[in-house]
Amino acid sequence: MAMGALQSGCSVSFARALRSRTFTTISSTVTVPSLKKASQMESRLLLGLSEEQLQQLALDFGQKSFRGKQLYHLLYKRKVKEIQEFSQLPLEFRNDLQEAGWRVGRSPIHKAVTAADGTTKLLIKLDDNRLVETVGIPVKDNDGSFRLTACVSSQVGCPLRCSFCATGKGGFSRNLKSHEIVEQVLAIEELFKQRVTNVVFMGMGEPMLNMKEVLEAHRCLNKDILIGQRMITISTVGVPNTIKKLASYKLQSTLALR
């Protein structure tokens, strides 16, 4: 299996190096573990659910299935953050969702820092008040086309403490949930008012140590936010026994060693 080499960390200073990197692809067919049905989710978060799951959720609340399609559009296309802002949905449905404990699952931006070249680092404040970092990297290619790369985190902190990475020095708090990974990409799109074209799992944390949530986020980014699998890169330091496991899912994405 051929794998590209990348530098670690996804800070503003890293952005320039990322632009010139080339990657190789893992495999071909898509086989990603499916998410649980919405009715079985303990956290009751809408973000991360597929169109089919949202349609089923609407049916569970006595609504027509097309209300689930509307939910899907509002979540992933309109990027609406609060249930009561779903103005296309009946008020009764919105109230029922809230009373049942459902919420969107979006977090506020704590801080944004922009470099001279437009690269922007965001700190997102999670429900437990922990902060997670994501970076938006805009690039205009020679042919005039525009790329926007989102460098996303998979953990709060990192347990590996690699000597070349500043994240590990702060210790490890917890794994991110899939919706907390997905919302980083949505936050970058909102900030730049552009679609994200590329995603790199190269922010805080080691993706291979949070593979289940990373794979669920990968499914959502590909199927719901419509980012091509070949445009998604998973960067790792090479945790033993994880690369073979990831390859077994036959993603059309890139694996990069740092």
Q: Are residues 94 and 156 in the same domain?
A: no
Q: Are residues 112 and 139 in the same domain?
A: yes
Q: Are residues 239 and 162 in the same domain?
A: yes
pLDDT of 41 reads 42
Q: Residue 187: which residues within 8 A CB-CB, separation 6 or more?
A: 109, 122, 124, 134
Q: Residue 202: which residues within 8 A CB-CB, separation 6 or more?
A: 6, 8, 9, 10, 14, 18, 151, 152, 233, 235, 256, 258
Q: Are residues 149 and 238 in the same domain?
A: yes
How far apart (Å, rounded) are the C-alpha atoms in residues 185 and 106? 11
Q: Are residues 122 and 75 in the same domain?
A: no
Q: Are residues 156 and 188 in the same domain?
A: yes
How far apart (Å, rounded) are the C-alpha atoms in residues 5 and 157? 22
Q: Are residues 146 and 238 in the same domain?
A: yes
Q: Which helix (H) or strand (E) holds 70?
A: helix 66-76
pLDDT of 123 reads 97
pLDDT of 100 reads 96
Let me know if residue 136 belongs to a domain: yes
pLDDT per residue, tens digit, the chain (258 aa), is 333 333 334 444 444 444 444 333 333 333 333 333 334 445 599 999 999 999 999 999 999 999 999 999 999 999 999 999 999 999 999 999 999 999 999 999 999 999 999 999 999 999 999 999 999 999 988 888 899 999 999 999 988 877 777 776 778 889 999 999 999 999 999 999 999 999 999 999 999 999 999 999 999 999 999 999 999 999 998 888 898 899 999 999 989 887
pTM of the model: 0.81
Q: Are residues 118 and 226 in the same domain?
A: yes
Q: Are residues 27 and 73 in the same domain?
A: no
pLDDT of 141 reads 87
Let me know if residue 215 belongs to a domain: yes
pLDDT of 43 reads 58
Among residues 80, 99, 118, the one where a domain terminates is: 99
Q: Are residues 146 and 94 in the same domain?
A: no
Let me know if residue 38 belongs to a domain: no
How far apart (Å, rounded) are the C-alpha atoms in residues 194 and 178? 22
Number of structural domains found in the chain: 2
Let me know if residue 57 belongs to a domain: yes
Q: Is residue 51 classed exposed, middle or buried when 0-12, 13-18 and 19+ CB atoms within 10 A define those classes?
A: middle
Which three-class secondary structure state does DSSP give residue 143? coil
What CATH number is associated with residue 61?
A: 1.10.150.530
Let me know if residue 185 belongs to a domain: yes
Q: Are residues 19 and 132 in the same domain?
A: yes
What CATH number is associated with residue 23?
A: 3.20.20.70
Q: Are residues 73 and 190 in the same domain?
A: no
Range of the domain at 22: 4-33+107-257
Q: Nearest Cα to 174, choosing from 202, 213, 216? A: 213
